[in-house]
Amino acid sequence: MRFLRLFTKGFFLIVNIVTVLFFLLACLAPFISPVRFWPISFLTLGFPFMLVILLLFLIFWLVFHPRYALIPLLALLIGWKSVSAFIAFRWPSSWNTNDKPEGSFNVMSYNVALFGLYAQKNSRPTREAMFRLIKAQKPDILCLQDFYTSEKKDDFNNREDISEEMKLPHRFFSSDFNRQGSQHWGSIIFSRYPIIQSDKVKMSPGPMGESLIYADIVRNGDTLRIVNMHLESYRFNAQDYQSIEKIKKQEDTGLVAAKGIMNKMRDAYIRRSRQANIVADFIKTSPYPVIVCGDFNDTPASYTYFTVKGALQDAFLRKGSGIGRTFSGLSPTLRIDYIFADKRFSVNGFRTLHADLSDHYPVITNVTLRK
């Protein structure tokens, strides 16, 4: 019996130490660019699971062997920078997007996945549902990624329609890709307030490279800079998602499938880190208070997140709660869509809208510029 107790304690101790080592390695990710060492980025995907395991070990040791509780406790304290970026330690808010304190305004960010253009044979119902959802939130500034618009007859001119229906007359569109000059893809900023300057900054070379876009907006005599972007995705296709299912089911072909998936993820981590450096440098040059919106395609434990965020506030951490999942696929823990705000703003409210219209959930915040 004594041998069994010693064996069980030793087994759990080894598992705990191994988990701590991987957890602490993941906590180094914000400081190490994937360009220098890309394997560490993969650990950030497992960060929430390692965090849960450490919390369970903390409880377990406190009950059975209190002195060993120091192992997970010290790991959590050392990795607090990453832990505190991952979880918003607040009670769920009852903030309604129509509740705007005096002098405040709403900023909404949403990857609309081309309004379902390629995912469905008839994308009209999805597009109409997205329009209703956005309109109900009454955003004053709307940042969309994976945006599609067209001037072709019998197609959707989403630029004009959103401006008209949402009463957001001012806009700037990146038009990163276009077909025959009449069909356009990219990121866009809509605004209820006048835009006095706007431009785009190419984040990656080549025809598939997307742009950071910005718009300087004048509101009540103050000038604000709105930045919107869609950072490098893994570019998984239908075959890749089938491969992921094979890996989950541990089929014989899973190893072959895993190699292709890993290569795409490695390339995306490296490209995103370079894009993050470009974005961070651009934000630092702003002469105005900045609000940053975007689909970063990376978690809060990543180099991308911490590099772009810099000294800005994460609106979710300020007024959200829990883990704030914004991506409906692959994992139940992925928060990859963000709104960051300059510290000169007060963040009054935040919501993630769990609407299954895109593979991303829209996020919205209410802010006030402090005088």
The b-or-e profile of 134-154 (16+ CB within 10 A means b, else e) is beebbbbbbbbbbbbbbeeee
Q: Is residue 82 part of a domain?
A: yes
**pLDDT at res. 263:** 85
Q: Is residue 150 part of a domain?
A: yes
Q: Answer yes or no: do 50 and 171 share one domain.
A: no
Q: Is residue 123 part of a domain?
A: yes
Q: Quickly tell me which residue has 């906590």 as its tokens.
A: 27
Neighbouring CB atoms inside 10 A of 176's CB total 21
Q: Answer yes or no: do 300 and 161 share one domain.
A: yes
Q: Answer yes or no: do 158 and 266 share one domain.
A: yes
Task: Supply the pTM of this predicted model.
Answer: 0.91
Q: Is residue 294 part of a domain?
A: yes
Of 207, 330, 211, nearest to 278 by C-alpha is: 211
How large is the angle between the packed helices 47-64 and 2-27, nearest 10 degrees?
A: 140
Q: Answer yes or no: do 109 and 258 share one domain.
A: yes
Q: Answer yes or no: do 64 and 120 share one domain.
A: no
Q: How far apart are CA 217 and CA 32, in angstroms?
A: 35
**pLDDT at res. 212:** 96
Q: Answer yes or no: do 32 and 132 share one domain.
A: no
Task: Residue 306: give the domain boundaries.
Answer: 105-369
- The DSSP line for 291-355 is EEEEE-SS-TTSHHHHHHHTTSEEHHHHH--BT---B-SS-TT---EEEEE-TTEEEEEEEE---
Task: Name the domain boundary from 26, 56, 86.
Answer: 86
The domain that holds 182 is classified in CATH as 3.60.10.10
What token pair was written down for 109? 């960010």
Q: Are 332 and 357 in contact (CB under 8 A)?
A: no
Q: Answer yes or no: do 114 and 67 share one domain.
A: no
- Would you put residue 309 in left (φ > 0), alpha (ψ -120 to 50) or beta? alpha
Q: Answer yes or no: do 43 and 80 share one domain.
A: yes
Q: Answer yes or no: do 213 and 329 share one domain.
A: yes
**pLDDT at res. 239:** 64
- C-alpha to C-alpha distances, 157 to 113, 131, 146, nearest whole angstrom: 16, 13, 15
Averaged in consecutive runs of 10 residues, what is the pLDDT profile of the chain (371 residues)?
71 94 96 94 93 96 93 97 94 86 96 87 90 96 96 90 96 89 92 97 80 96 97 73 60 62 89 96 97 96 97 97 86 87 97 93 97 80
Q: Is residue 96 part of a domain?
A: no
Q: Is residue 94 part of a domain?
A: no
Q: Answer yes or no: do 208 and 248 share one domain.
A: yes
The b-or-e profile of 187-216 (16+ CB within 10 A means b, else e) is bbbbbbbebeebebeebbeeeeebbbbbbb
- For the chain, the domain total comes to 2
Task: Name the domain boundary from 42, 58, 86.
Answer: 86
Burial label for 347, CB within 10 Å (0-12, 13-18, 19+), is buried
Q: Quickly tell me which residue has 């209703």 as its tokens.
A: 132
Q: Answer yes or no: do 31 and 159 share one domain.
A: no
Q: Answer yes or no: do 31 and 110 share one domain.
A: no
Q: Is residue 341 part of a domain?
A: yes
Q: Is the dihedral of CA 139, 145, 150, 155 positive or negative?
A: negative
Task: Name the domain boundary from 51, 86, 121.
Answer: 86
Q: Is residue 187 part of a domain?
A: yes
Neighbouring CB atoms inside 10 A of 119's CB total 12
User: Distance between alpha carbon 20 and the CA centroid of its chain, in Å?
Assistant: 26
